[in-house]
Amino acid sequence: MSTAMTTYQALLHEYTPRPIRTETACKKALRQIDELMSRPKLSRAESELLEVLATLVEQYESIEHPTPVSPPDQMLAHLIEAKEVTQAEVARATGIPRSTISAVLAGRRQISKANVTRLAAYFAVSPAVFLGPTKTR
């Protein structure tokens, strides 16, 4: 085995990724991510390091700053607004009746498994975003 460091090993020596347990360590990792992302083109080693750092930050943030899970009807409303489409456009594109979409948004019905799949494909999101807690009325 050669004693010369690989490009990836040299990057690890420079950045020394470690588990993130504090806000300060998270900010440091984010600065390192920003520095890597500011480069015009990343080498394979830089891309791998970026992935490691992003995973560490994501893990820390999921523990320290968990994202609240939204009820499926609220998530659907948010995605419709964010994509700047109408209920009718969603209905046409997914094959889901407009009345069904209206009933889901009004909290009168749940999203069926078949419709979860259609909506997830249309909005290019994980089906899990529509499987959050149900709204109680």
* 90-113 pLDDT per residue, tens: 999 999 999 999 999 999 999 998
Residue with tokens 């050669």: 2
CB-based burial label for 28 (10 Å; 0-12, 13-18, 19+) = middle
* Per-residue model confidence as pLDDT tens digits over 16-75: 889 999 999 999 999 999 999 899 998 999 999 999 999 999 899 888 877 677 899 999
87/72 Cα distance (integer angstroms):
15
69/42 Cα distance (integer angstroms):
34
104/72 Cα distance (integer angstroms):
8
List C-alpha distances in Å: 121 to 3, 69, 118. Answer: 49, 20, 5
99/91 Cα distance (integer angstroms):
9
Looking at CATH, the fold of the domain delimited by 72-130 is given as 434 Repressor (Amino-terminal Domain) (1.10.260)
The pTM assigned to this predicted structure is 0.51
